Amino acid sequence: MKSPILQSATKYLLPILLLFSFFLLLRGHYYPGGGFVGGLVASIAFVLHSFANGTEATMKILKHKPLSLIPVGLAISTVSVTIPMLFGLPAMTGLWLEEPIPVIGMIGSSLFFDLGVYLVVIGVVLTILFTISLNNLEEKN
């Protein structure tokens, strides 16, 4: 599907959707949102790009394989889960900085957990979709 309208629309939609996904990620602590939803929105942005320009073009702008996001995300989440154990608290207890940071708001260990989930979701969704669509391309050729 190569439509010039979609192609030029994606050029602007991709950054906006990524920004929106980041907004959802940060908003998740007190309002609806969070790592999973943010990750889905971000991967939808890339999926839209691959619809418009083909899967190869999307892989080119990603530079790295989406698979490599999974261990990074898992590691961030796991570290944020285990850090409270170093302070003698039960695992997964939220640790918060005293003062809020401008724009981002309160920062705590659960933000890093969400960040990990965000990366894992992007990695998993894009890996699955690329696997399916690349198989299709190979079959066609």
Binding site for another protein (CB under 8 A): 36, 67-68, 70-71, 74-75, 78, 82, 85, 88-94, 124-125, 128, 131-132, 135, 139
Contact 106, 100 (CB under 8 A): yes
- Say which DSSP state 68 is in: G
In the complex, what is the shortest distance from the CB of residue 29 to another protein, in angstroms, rounded to a whole number?
12
**Cβ-based nearer residue to another protein, 10 or 80:** 80
> Measured between alpha carbons, how far is 122 from 20 in angstroms, rounded to an integer?
14
13: which 2 tokens? 């939609």
Smallest CA-to-CA distance from 10 within 56, 50, 55, 60 is with: 50
In the complex, what is the shortest distance from the CB of residue 24 to another protein, in angstroms, rounded to a whole number?
14
In the complex, what is the shortest distance from the CB of residue 60 to another protein, in angstroms, rounded to a whole number?
21
**Cβ-based nearer residue to another protein, 45 or 121:** 121
